C-alpha cells in the first residue's frame, strides 16, 4: 500500500519474501545477503525513481564485466520492477546520467569488447571470433587493441592502434590508425585493395549500439549497454572522451551545459558521497520509502561502491519510512550486542508485538526475552527487554537482565528501563518520529529534527 506525506505507519505494509534467492557463484561480486522484499503500489511514475548526486562513486552497469568510476554524477535510477523496490545491488534499475564525469578501466573494457565481438557465437558450436583480447588505453586518446582473430581457419594475431573521440550525436568514435596482422602492416594493402574497417567488421545495425563506417567504429554507449541481458538500461550522451594510462574518461550530459557543469564539479575536491531522494528503494537490508539519505565513504582510498555490500560505507537517513528486515535486524543486534562469552548463539524474530531474542548465557544456558522497540524524547531508537526466561520457562530477575543488556550494547546508553541506540552498526537512522512492529519488520518514520524554540 502506498504512503503519503500525511499517512501514519499503520498505512505502510511490508511483506517478507517467501521465495528462495539464487545461489551466487564464488566468482560473482558480493551483493546483499538479505533476501526480503515488499509490495508497494506507486502513486506516480516518479515514486519508482531515485534521484542522486555523488562523487567518487563506483557503479557496476554490466554484470561482472563493466564498472564505472564516477568522479561526479547527477543521475536518476528508474525501477525495472515497479511493484518492488529498486535494488541497486542487483542491477534492478535503468540509469539516466544527466551530468557526469566517469572513467572505465582497460581491464573492464577488454572484458566488455571481447564479449560484444563474440556475441554472435555465444551458445553455439562456432568458435569465438576473437580470443586473448587486450584493450589498452594510452595517453593522447590512443586506444590499442591486441588479440587473435579467427580467419581462414586460423587464429591470426592482430595489433591495432587508433584514436578515440566523441561525436555531436553523443556517441564514441574510434578511428583506425596502424594495423598489423601476424606482424605484417596492413594499412598500405588495405588502401590498394579498397579494404577498410567497415568491410572487415560488417557492423551495419546501429540498433545494436555499435556500427562501422569506413575506417571508423561508432559506439552508442547507452544502447550498447541496454541491449545486454545482465545489464542496466542506460541513457548517457557522451560529450567528451579522453584517455589516460589505463583508463578511458567520458564526459556525459543531457546537454553540453550539463557536461560542462560536471567538469566544474569534478574539480571541487570532496570526500566520496551520494545524496539521494528515493521513492522506493532497498539498500543493505533496509527498505526506504519516500525518503532522503546520504551515503558516505569510510575507505577514502577507493571509490564508494554502490553495488557492493561491506563495511566501506556509512548510511545516514535524513527522512522517510524505513523498514528493517528480520534478517538484517538479527545482524544488527549481533553487531550491537556482540557474541561474547556471556551471550552467544543469538537468534531474533520480528513480530507484530515486538522482537523475540534468544541465545545462550555463558555459552550453555538457553535464555529468551522480548524486546519492545520505541523512540526516546530525542528521537533515538530504543528498546526495552521484557519477560526474560531461562530454559524456556524459568523467569529471570527483570532488573538484573535489563542492567546486563544495557552494558552489552556497544553504542547504547541506559534510557529508563531500556537502552537508547544512537546508530545501529554505524547506520544513522535520523530523528525517529514514529515506530511500529510488523511481522518480519520494524517500521519507522524518520523526519528532520524539530527546531528548538
The H or E element containing residue 112 is helix 106-117
* Whether 131 contacts 115, CB under 8 Å: no
- Model pLDDT, residue 46: 55
User: In angstroms, how far is the first alpha carbon of the chain from the final one?
Assistant: 36
Distance (Å, whole) CA 226 – CA 95: 10
Give the residue with greater pLDDT, 323 vs 83.
323
- Is 174's pLDDT higher than 60? yes
Distance (Å, whole) CA 56 – CA 266: 9
Distance (Å, whole) CA 134 – CA 161: 12
pLDDT, average across residues 380-408:
90
Average model confidence (pLDDT) across the chain: 83
What are the tens digits of pLDDT across the range 196-229? 777 777 788 899 999 999 999 999 999 999 998 8
- 263 beta partners: none
- Model pLDDT, residue 4: 30
Residue labelled with grid coordinates 557543469? 261
Residue 246 Rama label (left phi>0; alpha psi -120 to 50; beta)? left
Helix, strand or coil for residue 234? strand
- Model pLDDT, residue 311: 67
What are the tens digits of pLDDT across the range 295-319? 998 887 889 988 876 667 888 999 9
Distance (Å, whole) CA 327 – CA 343: 19
* Whether 432 contacts 445, CB under 8 Å: yes
- Is 33's pLDDT higher than 70? no
* Whether 305 contacts 296, CB under 8 Å: no
- Model pLDDT, residue 372: 92
- Model pLDDT, residue 152: 66
- Model pLDDT, residue 407: 82
Distance (Å, whole) CA 357 – CA 16: 19
* Whether 80 contacts 233, CB under 8 Å: yes
* Whether 96 contacts 235, CB under 8 Å: yes
Q: In the structure grid, which three cell numbers stand for residue 70, read together?
A: 564516477
Q: In the structure grid, which three cell numbers stand for residue 80, read together?
A: 525495472
Q: Which residues contact 229 (CB under 8 A, 6 or more apart)?
A: none
Strand spans (E) along 38-166: 49-62, 66-79, 86-87, 93-105, 130-138, 142-151, 154-166
Weakest mean pLDDT among 16-30, 134-148, 309-323, 384-398: 16-30
Weakest mean pLDDT among 41-45, 194-198, 249-253: 41-45
* Whether 67 contacts 300, CB under 8 Å: no
* Whether 301 contacts 309, CB under 8 Å: no
pLDDT, average across residues 37-56:
70
DSSP 298: S
- Model pLDDT, residue 5: 28
- Is 20's pLDDT higher than 50? no
* Whether 440 contacts 16, CB under 8 Å: yes
User: Taking the model in full, what pTM does it have?
Assistant: 0.81
Distance (Å, whole) CA 78 – CA 230: 16
Task: Looking at mean pLDDT, say which of 125-129, 235-239, 372-376 comes out highest.
Answer: 235-239
Strand spans (E) along 284-430: 286-297, 304-305, 313-325, 343-351, 354-361, 365-375, 381-390, 394-395, 412-415, 418-421
- Model pLDDT, residue 3: 30
Count of residues making up the chain: 453
Weakest mean pLDDT among 20-24, 37-41, 309-313, 419-423: 20-24
* φ, ψ of residue 190 in degrees (nearest 5): -65, -40
Weakest mean pLDDT among 21-30, 62-71, 176-185: 21-30
Helix, strand or coil for residue 172? strand
pLDDT, average across residues 92-120:
91
Amino acid at each position: 500500500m502506498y504512503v503519503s506525506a500525511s499517512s501514519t505507519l499503520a498505512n505502510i505494509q511490508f511483506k517478507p519474501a517467501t521465495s528462495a534467492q539464487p545461489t551466487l557463484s564464488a566468482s560473482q561480486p558480493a551483493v546483499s545477503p538479505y533476501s526480503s522484499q515488499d509490495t508497494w503500489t506507486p502513486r506516480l511514475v516518479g515514486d519508482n525513481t531515485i534521484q542522486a548526486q555523488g562523487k567518487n562513486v563506483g557503479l557496476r552497469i554490466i554484470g561482472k564485466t563493466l564498472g564505472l568510476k564516477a568522479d561526479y554524477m547527477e543521475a536518476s535510477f528508474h525501477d525495472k520492477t515497479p511493484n518492488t523496490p529498486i535494488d541497486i545491488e542487483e542491477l534492478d534499475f535503468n540509469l539516466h546520467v544527466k551530468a557526469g564525469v566517469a572513467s572505465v578501466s582497460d581491464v573492464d573494457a577488454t572484458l566488455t569488447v571481447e564479449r560484444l565481438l563474440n556475441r554472435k557465437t555465444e551458445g553455439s558450436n562456432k568458435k569465438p571470433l576473437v580470443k586473448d583480447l587486450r584493450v589498452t588505453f594510452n595517453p593522447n586518446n590512443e586506444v590499442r587493441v591486441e588479440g587473435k582473430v579467427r580467419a581462414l581457419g586460423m587464429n591470426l594475431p592482430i595489433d591495432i592502434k587508433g584514436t578515440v573521440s566523441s561525436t555531436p550525436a553523443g556517441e564514441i568514435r574510434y578511428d583506425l590508425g596502424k594495423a598489423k596482422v601476424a606482424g605484417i602492416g596492413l594499412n598500405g594493402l588495405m588502401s590498394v585493395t579498397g579494404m577498410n574497417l567497415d568491410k572487415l567488421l560488417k557492423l551495419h545495425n546501429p540498433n545494436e549500439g555499435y556500427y562501422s563506417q569506413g575506417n571508423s567504429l561508432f559506439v552508442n554507449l547507452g544502447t550498447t549497454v541496454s541491449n545486454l541481458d545482465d545489464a542496466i538500461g542506460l541513457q548517457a550522451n557522451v560529450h567528451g572522451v579522453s584517455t589516460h594510462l589505463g583508463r578511458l574518461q567520458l564526459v556525459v550530459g543531457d546537454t553540453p551545459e550539463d557536461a560542462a557543469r560536471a567538469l566544474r564539479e569534478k574539480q571541487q575536491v570532496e570526500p566520496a558521497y551520494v545524496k539521494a531522494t528515493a521513492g522506493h528503494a532497498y539498500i543493505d537490508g533496509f527498505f526506504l520509502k519516500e525518503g532522503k539519505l546520504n551515503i558516505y565513504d569510510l575507505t577514502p582510498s577507493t571509490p564508494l561502491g554502490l553495488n557492493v555490500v561491506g563495511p566501506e560505507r556509512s548510511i545516514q537517513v535524513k527522512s522517510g519510512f524505513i523498514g528493517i528486515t528480520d534478517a538484517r535486524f538479527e545482524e544488527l543486534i549481533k553487531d550491537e550486542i556482540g557474541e561474547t562469552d556471556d551471550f552467544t548463539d543469538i537468534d531474533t524474530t520480528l513480530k507484530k508485538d515486538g522482537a523475540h531474542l534468544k541465545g545462550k548465557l555463558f555459552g550453555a544456558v538457553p535464555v529468551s526475552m522480548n524486546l519492545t522497540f520505541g523512540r526516546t524524547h530525542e528521537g533515538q531508537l530504543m528498546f526495552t527487554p521484557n519477560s526474560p526466561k531461562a530454559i524456556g520457562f524459568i523467569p529471570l530477575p527483570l532488573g538484573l537482565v535489563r542492567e546486563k543488556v544495557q552494558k552489552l550494547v556497544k553504542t547504547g546508553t541506559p534510557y529508563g528501563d531500556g537502552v537508547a541506540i544512537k546508530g545501529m552498526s554505524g547506520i544513522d537512522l535520523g530523528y525517529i518520529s514514529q515506530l511500529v512492529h510488523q511481522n518480519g519488520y520494524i517500521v519507522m518514520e524518520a523526519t528532520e529534527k524539530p527546531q528548538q524554540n
